Amino acid sequence: MALGTHVDYSEFVPVVHHYNCTQVTAGNVHRLNQNKHSCTPGFDGNVGMCIGAQITCNPSKLDYTKALKV
């Protein structure tokens, strides 16, 4: 990852495999408000991503502006 690209999620490109009787729509992931990520080796040599976690599972206390979105 190049310096300063910790808020750029463009390296995570969706890969869709079409099978019989399936329909898939995909897009690039992103996060709002300049939320950062770090890259890590992923499954089978692919790119992986680390993002912060929230300390609650209570929906009324979650900060949805930090969510990973498609």
Residue 19 maps to a domain? no
Which residues sit opposite 21 in a β-bridge? Answer: none
CA distances from 46 to 22, 40, 49, 65 (A): 24, 9, 10, 27
CB 39 within 8 A of CB 28: no
What range does the domain containing 44 cover? 1-14+25-70
Tell whether 47 is covered by a domain: yes
Angle among Cα 49, 8, 17 to the nearest 5 degrees reads: 60
* 9 lies in some domain: yes
Query: Mean per-residue pLDDT for 18-23?
Result: 86
| DSSP bridge partners of 69 | 30
Within-domain flag for 29: yes
* Domain contains 44: yes
Please indicate, yes or no, if residue 20 is contained in any of the structural domains.
no
Please tell me the pTM assigned to this model. 0.65
7, part of any domain:
yes
The pLDDT of residue 3 = 58
pLDDT in tens, 22-54: 888 889 999 998 899 998 888 888 888 999 999
Total structural domains within the chain:
1
